[in-house]
Structure 1
Amino acid sequence: MPMPSPSPRLRLRLVFGADAMLGPGKAELLEQIRDLGSISAAGRAMGMSYKRAWSLVEEMNAAFRAPLVLSARGGPQGGGAQLTETGAQVLAHYRSFEDRAAQAGADDIAAIGALLRDIPDEK
């Protein structure tokens, strides 16, 4: 019995010049940091190295007027990370834009999906 096809996903990447970009990966990283309180835990949850997660945080912090993530080194009290107010605002605006774009494009996305070839067993 064929499995139903998964619903299409809209993935948006916003590019602001050569050095500033925000897309689904960075948005998810911000969410994971917010929820887990740690850059390393967020990276692990996403299957990426701490070095890669830290590099993305540094890119985002450098691109915005105020940092999106604040971190504290480990030690006796342990380290951690949290979103700043700016980080929470950026994430909320990105998710809001993503939701509105998906709603606005739903008819076109469905029409494109209807034109896709059936792929047996998702191969």
Structure 2
Amino acid sequence: MSATPTLKLRARIYCGEEIAMGPGKADLLAAIAEEGSISAAGRALGMSYRRAWLLVDAMNRCWRSPLVETVAGGSKDRGARLSATGQAVLAQYRALQARIAEVEASDEYALLRSGVRAAPLPGAPDPAG
């Protein structure tokens, strides 16, 4: 564990109770764009095809337009690619992540961090016994 307090912010966009976009889904979109298939993207990220497919399905159900388009069959064009919406969502989400990362360099964060102990004090005894 780090002796220096750290700030961990993650942007998650919800669609009801479902995460429509978060860091892992953004990484999956980027891998699909790079690899050209859901299975290859899943392998590149160390996840099963089923897990990758479930994440793609959730994204496609949450956004007004699908983020990932698939082409099944034996043609040379088979696989998956980001739709125009998927490309835009990924770019906008990455820009949001970059802005969130800037917070760590902020004066507000530095002031908060300076007041946090390296480790918590032992817990107080339970007054109930």
Same fold by TM-score greater than 0.5: yes
- TM-superposed CA distance for 1:17, in Å, is 2.3
Q: After TM superposition, give the deviation of residue 110 of structure 1 in Å.
A: 4.5
Structure 2 counterpart of 1:57: 56
Structure 2: state its 5+ residue gaps: 120-129
Deviations 1:23-44 (A, max 9, x none): 1000000000011111001000
Corresponding residue of 2:23: 24
1:12 equivalent in structure 2? 11
| Equivalence for 2:34 | 35
- Partners of 2:74 and 2:105 in 1: how far apart? 49
How has the CA–CA distance of structure 1 residues 113 and 73 changed in structure 2, closer, same or farther, with 3 Å as cutoff?
farther
**Number of aligned positions between the proteins:** 115
Distance 1:116 1:33, change over 3 A: farther
1:102 shift after superposition? 1.9
DSSP 3-state at the match of 2:64: coil
- TM normalised by structure 2 equals 0.73
1:75 partner SS? coil
RMSD: 2.7
Structure with the bigger percentage of helix:
1
What's the secondary structure of 2:20's corresponding residue? strand
**Under a length normalisation based on structure 1, what TM-score does the superposition of the two structures give?**
0.77
In structure 1, the gaps of 5 or more residues are 119-123
